[in-house]
Amino acid sequence: MEELGFYDQVYQVVRLIPSGRVSSYGAIASYLGSRGSARMVGYAMNAAHSVFPPVPAQRVVNRNGLLTGKFHFGSENLMQQLLENEGIRVENDKIVDFKNIFWDPSIELDMNK
């Protein structure tokens, strides 16, 4: 079986984030065994808009809950609109109640894949 590239691994994890929840670049990198590669996860999210099956890139934010990737969505407010469509409140480009809706793949996914 062919080993998946880093971006494909990122996309697999991001597709598992439930609607109404968010994760962070760093949490995803850490789960994939690449702690310190949060920026690479960000690059993967920037490239995700043409990937099939679709990747819900709006569900990945920075470690403080800020919508740092919003400028890669085609319009300045699209990322926020997509999150709000899932019931997530955003104020001043920041997820409201971030701690309670944060989805950590290292906790949420079975580590014994």
* CATH label of the domain that carries residue 91: 1.10.10.10
Residue given tokens 């590239």 in the structure block: 5
Q: Flag whether 108 is in a domain.
A: no
Q: Flag whether 110 is in a domain.
A: no
pLDDT in tens, 23-80: 999 999 999 998 889 999 999 999 998 899 999 999 999 999 999 999 999 898 999 9
Q: Cβ neighbours of residue 70 under 8 Å, at least 6 residues apart?
A: 76, 77, 78, 79, 80, 93
Helix, coil or strand: residue 99: helix
* pTM > 0.85: yes
* pLDDT of 1 higher than 50: no
Q: Nearest 5°: CA angle at 99, between 106 and 62?
A: 70
Q: How many domains does the chain have?
A: 1
CA nearest to 35, candidates 26, 44, 43: 26
